[in-house]
Amino acid sequence: MSEKTKDILEWIYCIVIALVLAMLFRYFIGTPTIVKQVSMYPTLVQDERLWLNRWGRTTKTLPKRGQIITFEEPAVINYTSTEIDQSNPVAKYHEKNAWQWFVGNFLEIGKRSYIKRAIALPGEHVEIKEGKVYINGEVLEEPYLQPGIVTDVTGEGFDNFTVPENCIFAMGDNRNHSTDCRAFGCIPLKEIESTVSIRIWPLNKCGKVE
């Protein structure tokens, strides 16, 4: 083997190692992202850059109430009146084979993710009525909402249920323009990808996101 061939192979080897390490870091530790929708306005604005913390997924830790999370889009977004089951309010996801899981989670190809705020935790009873959210019978104080924002369920949705074990109920701050757990049910822990750690752009808003 010539020296030139050896050099080429060494470069290829280094590039492959670097790519693998980058994918592992992005999956297990964290990654940047761009806000693309308006469902978290005014907390998050379109085209802002965020840093996502994925250590919670690595350690299989549920987010806390109030944390902003990302999760993969469920397989079913809307239900008919006969499909709504308030006793089993868990979002539906398709089963994936090993290759589909790798492409979606490590390469992040062909996957759509949502960004919402964790509202209710496992075992808590949620009721949405009179424009507000009730957790275990008490009104949830939500200082991050704009004045005048009401929370309701338009059409068929989940509005009176108990959050199942190892699941999170999440909604967008821009309630009238957010497709969230009210429509498709609670998100299982295994589908939660990350929590929003900090805003990295624009520079004048750089810092912790709450």
pLDDT of residue 12: 85
Q: What's the Cα-to-Cα distance from 78 to each of 11, 170, 180, 191, rounded to whole Å?
A: 49, 15, 10, 18
The CA distance from 94 to 76, in Å, is 9
Provide the 3-class DSSP secondary structure of residue 145.
coil
Asked if residues 51 and 25 have their Cβ atoms less than 8 Å apart, the reply is no
**Residue whose structure tokens are 């250590």:** 55
pLDDT of residue 20: 86
pLDDT of residue 125: 98
Q: What is the mean pLDDT of each run of 10 residues along the chain (210 residues)?
A: 73 87 88 92 93 92 95 91 91 89 81 94 96 96 92 89 97 94 95 93 87
The structure's pTM equals: 0.89
pLDDT of residue 1: 65
Backbone angles phi, psi at 99, to 5 degrees: -70, -45
The beta strands (E) that lie in 62-186 are given as 68-72, 113-120, 125-129, 132-135, 138-139, 160-162, 167-171
Asked if residues 72 and 187 have their Cβ atoms less than 8 Å apart, the reply is no
The CA distance from 194 to 41, in Å, is 19
**Residue whose structure tokens are 């967008």:** 172
pLDDT of residue 136: 97
The CA distance from 49 to 46, in Å, is 9
The beta strands (E) that lie in the chain are given as 30-34, 49-53, 68-72, 113-120, 125-129, 132-135, 138-139, 160-162, 167-171, 187-188, 192-201, 207-208
pLDDT of residue 111: 84
CATH T-level assignment (fold) for domain 3-208: Umud Fragment, subunit A (2.10.109)
Instruction: Say how many C-beta atoms besides its own lie within 10 A of residue 185's C-beta.
Output: 26
Asked if residues 69 and 194 have their Cβ atoms less than 8 Å apart, the reply is yes
pLDDT of residue 154: 79
The CA distance from 43 to 51, in Å, is 15
